């Protein structure tokens, strides 16, 4: 698993689910992460695709990577509608959503992608020997040097989920997700962590305490934006999450609605974990169109060669849920305390 030349000590991989035609944008993301971080650590890259990667894709991304690269094909059963799904109902609902101009409403591949990111990527055999992953999408940007190993931060601080931006989901895409989540918790109250982050999802609620068997209130649609994730794969491999995904998959909202992996990952991390196991990477400057955020602390700029305008950042935008996170996590505004490697 530790390939020759790897410098970083964690069992970790950068992971990109990507299409062949996104090669240039994939290289763009890779170059930034390599220049800003990975060439000092040489963690491996894992690429996943529902179609075989082209020789060109493999050659060019391998050329861009400082560490080992590996390429995985996704099995058709993990990239198609399960048998119990009613196709006519899917089509009717799709048309309704298209008429409402919901983004990706008419796309079947987008639904497969969201389901794959929710329930399958962490089970891919190429990731079997890893504990941590860093999700990378094509055409994202990193604005600052990352002068420490975020995977090491996760392990040494006992963090299981890390994010940079948080915002609201389009309610039409997840009409029944909250009800399904509530009913799942009702039948599996043992998975509700004491000191969870329920208050991030429900305004005016209160985080569950030991002994609570239900969650109440209305979902405010806040979620961690999952195009960036640094997290522990074992969170998704856990019994709690496996059963949660199976419950959601049976309910069918990946297809009847257009459930995204972001609210699903967020609700699971926020409810099944104590909130202290969730980390906000306040020192990472990041862009995924149409939003960017720039570290607010001076130190990141002094030591990280940031190329972003501190005044332009999404964190306290009206559409950002980060102010709620600061409150829930008991943090002050801006970057958290800097991580000092041991």
CA dihedral 256, 260, 263, 265 (to 10 degrees): 110
- Residue 137 touching Mn ion (CB under 5 A): yes
Per CB under 6 A, 19 contacts ligand GDP: yes
Please, which of residues 40-59 interact with ligand GDP by CB under 6 A?
A: 49-50
Annotation marks residue 10 as catalytic: no
CB of 288 to Mn ion, least distance (A): 6
Contacts of 77 (CB under 8 A, 6+ apart): none
Per partner kind, with CB cut-offs from 5 to 8 A, the member of Mn ion, ligand GDP, none near residue 235 is none
Q: Which is nearer to ligand GDP, 17 or 235 (CB)?
A: 17
Query: Which is nearer to ligand GDP, 165 or 198 (by Cβ)?
Result: 165
User: Cα–Cα distance between 299 and 88 in angstroms, integer?
Assistant: 55
Q: How far is the CB of 215 from ligand GDP (least distance, A)?
A: 26
Of all helices (H) and strands (E), which one includes residue 222? strand 222-224
- Interatomic CA distance for residues 120 and 116, integer angstroms: 5
Name which of Mn ion, ligand GDP, none residue 181 binds, using a CB cut-off of 5 to 8 Å depending on partner kind.
none
Token pair for 196: 């969870």
Closest approach of Cβ 245 to ligand GDP, in Å?
18
Residues 6+ apart with CB under 8 A from 215: 181, 182, 185, 192, 198, 202, 208, 271
Neighbouring C-beta atoms of residue 203, cutoff 10 Å: 12
| 218-245 burial: b if 16+ Cβ within 10 Å, else e | ebbbbbbbbbbbbbbbebbebebbeebb
Minimum CB distance to Mn ion, residue 250 (Å): 27
Cis peptide preceding 290, ω within 30 of 0: yes
Retrieve residue 272's tokens. Answer: 């099944």
Q: Among the candidate windows 16-24, 30-38, 156-164, 206-214, which touches ligand GDP by CB under 6 A?
A: 16-24
As a whole number of angstroms, the distance between CA 126 and CA 243 comes to 23
Q: Is 25 in the site for Mn ion (CB under 5 A)?
A: no
Q: Which does 18 bind (CB under 5 to 8 A by kind): Mn ion, ligand GDP, none?
A: ligand GDP
131 binds Mn ion (CB under 5 A): no
Of 68 and 287, CB closest to Mn ion: 287
Residues 20-39 binding ligand GDP (CB under 6 A) are 22
Residues that bind ligand GDP (rule: CB under 6 A) add up to a total of: 12
The DSSP code sequence of 135-149 is: E--TT-EE-S---S-
Among positions 67, 119, 138, 285, the unique one binding ligand GDP when judged by CB under 6 A: 138
- The CA radius of gyration of the chain, in Å to the nearest whole number, is 20
Beta carbon nearer to Mn ion, 227 or 232: 227
Q: If binding means CB under 5 A, how many residues of this protein chain bind Mn ion? A: 2
- Catalytic site residue from 229, 243, 257, 312: 229
State yes or no: residue 13 binds ligand GDP (CB under 6 A). Answer: no
**Residue 113 touches which member of ligand GDP, Mn ion, none, C-beta under 5-8 Å by kind:** ligand GDP
The residue whose two tokens read 């639904």 is 111
Catalytic annotation, residues: 229
Residue ranges in contact with Mn ion by CB under 5 A: 137, 227
């Amino acid at each position: 698993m530790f390939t020759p030349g790897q410098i970083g000590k964690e069992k970790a991989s950068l992971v990109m689910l990507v299409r062949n035609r996104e090669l240039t944008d994939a290289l763009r993301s890779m170059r930034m992460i390599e220049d800003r971080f990975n060439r000092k650590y040489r963690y491996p890259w894992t690429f996943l695709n529902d179609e075989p990667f082209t020789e060109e894709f493999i050659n060019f991304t391998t050329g861009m990577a400082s560490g080992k690269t590996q390429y995985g094909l996704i099995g058709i059963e993990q990239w198609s509608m399960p048998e119990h799904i009613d196709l006519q109902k899917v089509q009717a609902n799709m048309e309704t959503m298209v008429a409402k101009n919901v983004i990706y409403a008419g796309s079947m591949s987008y639904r497969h992608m969201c389901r794959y990111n929710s329930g399958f990527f962490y089970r891919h055999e190429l990731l079997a020997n890893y504990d941590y992953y860093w999700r990378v999408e094509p055409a994202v940007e990193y604005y600052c040097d990352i002068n420490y190993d975020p995977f090491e931060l996760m392990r040494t601080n006992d963090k299981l989920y890390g994010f940079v931006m948080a915002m609201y989901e389009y309610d039409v895409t997840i009409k029944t997700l909250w009800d399904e989540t509530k009913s799942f918790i009702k039948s599996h109250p043992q998975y509700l962590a004491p000191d969870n982050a329920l208050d991030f999802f429900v305004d005016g609620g209160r985080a569950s305490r030991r002994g609570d068997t239900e969650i109440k209130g209305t979902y405010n649609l806040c979620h961690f934006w999952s195009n960036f994730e640094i997290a522990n794969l074992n969170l998704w491999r856990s019994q709690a999450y496996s059963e949660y995904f199976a419950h959601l998959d049976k309910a069918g909202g990946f297809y009847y609605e257009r459930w995204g992996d972001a609210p699903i990952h967020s609700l699971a991390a926020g409810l099944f974990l104590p909130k202290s196991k969730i980390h906000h990477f306040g020192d990472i400057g990041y862009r995924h169109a149409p939003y960017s955020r720039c570290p607010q602390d001076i130190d990141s700029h002094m030591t990280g060669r940031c190329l972003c305008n501190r005044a332009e950042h999404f964190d306290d935008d009206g559409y950002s849920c980060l102010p709620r996170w600061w409150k829930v996590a008991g943090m002050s505004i801006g970057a958290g305390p800097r991580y000092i490697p041991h």
